[in-house]
């Protein structure tokens, strides 16, 4: 049976057979999820309450498919409010015509035109597979290789 989840759910993501990392659902999307992933590496059997976790400064803020959450591979440890320091990202998108950069929100809605200079400091809207998230966590913790593509996940 598929697991249900909601905004604010704190998840455990396997990094190795013995270690997990913590993530939080920032926003549910249609079949995807905006996820904040944190640096703390815990033992698999760590039983701390979710209120004890530092969830203000993620190492990754990314969109991924919710498959691992629904299957229970990324299990929910509890729920708490998402920190105000974690803002929903805005992305850049090229619109042709008229040939300009515009702001795009997490839902794909287009906003105002922006300058090339501002667009240069913004990311494109991308989604990453759950396997990439797990591999990036192994790379971050030096338990696997760090690939240049993982730089796009950083917050």
Which long-range contacts (C-beta less than 8 Å, at least 24 apart) are formed by 138-144? 138/15, 138/16, 140/39, 140/59, 141/15, 141/19, 141/21, 141/41, 143/15, 143/16, 143/19
Contact 106, 41 (CB under 8 A): no
Task: Please state, in angstroms and as integers, the Cα–Cα distance from residue 21 to each residue in 5, 12, 26, 136, following that order.
Answer: 18, 6, 16, 11
Residue 46 lies in a domain: yes
Could you tell me if residue 118 is inside a domain? no
Structural domain span for residue 39 = 9-87+126-153
pTM for this prediction: 0.92
What distance lies between CA 130 and its chain's CA centroid? 10
Would you give per-residue pLDDT tens digits along the chain (155 residues)?
Answer: 789 999 999 999 999 999 999 999 999 998 899 999 999 999 999 888 999 999 999 999 999 999 999 999 999 999 999 999 999 999 999 999 889 999 999 999 999 999 999 999 999 999 999 999 999 999 999 999 999 999 999 87
Give a yes or no: residue 41 inside a domain: yes
| Element containing residue 118 per DSSP (H, E) | helix 116-120
pLDDT of residue 134: 97
Encoded tokens for 130? 């759950």
Residue 21 within a domain:
yes
**Is 51 inside a domain boundary?**
yes
Among candidates 59, 51, 49, 30, which has minimal Cα distance to 136? Answer: 59
> 93 lies in a domain?
no
pLDDT of residue 33: 97
Task: Residue 92: count other Cβ atoms within 10 Å of its Cβ.
Answer: 18
Q: Say if 3 falls within a structural domain.
A: no
**Residue 65 structure tokens:** 């498919």
Helix (H) or strand (E) segment spanning residue 75? strand 75-79
State how far the Cα of 113 lies from the Cα of 129, in Å rounded to an integer. 30
For residue 128, what are the β-bridge partners?
64
Q: How many domains does the chain have?
A: 1
């Amino acid at each position: 049976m598929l697991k249900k989840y909601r905004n604010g759910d704190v998840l455990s993501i396997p990094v190795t057979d013995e270690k997990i990392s913590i993530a939080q659902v920032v926003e549910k999307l249609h079949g995807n999820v905006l996820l904040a992933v944190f640096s703390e590496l815990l033992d698999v059997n760590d039983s701390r309450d979710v209120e004890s976790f530092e969830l203000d400064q993620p190492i990754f803020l990314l969109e991924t498919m919710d498959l691992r959450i629904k299957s229970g591979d990324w299990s929910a440890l509890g729920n708490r409010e998402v920190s105000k320091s974690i803002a929903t990202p805005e992305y850049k998108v090229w619109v042709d015509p008229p040939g300009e950069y515009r702001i795009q929100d997490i839902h794909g809605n287009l906003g105002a035109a922006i300058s090339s200079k501002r667009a240069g400091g913004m990311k494109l809207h991308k989604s990453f597979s759950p396997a990439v998230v797990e591999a990036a966590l192994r790379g971050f913790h030096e338990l696997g290789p760090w690939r240049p593509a993982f730089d796009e996940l950083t917050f």
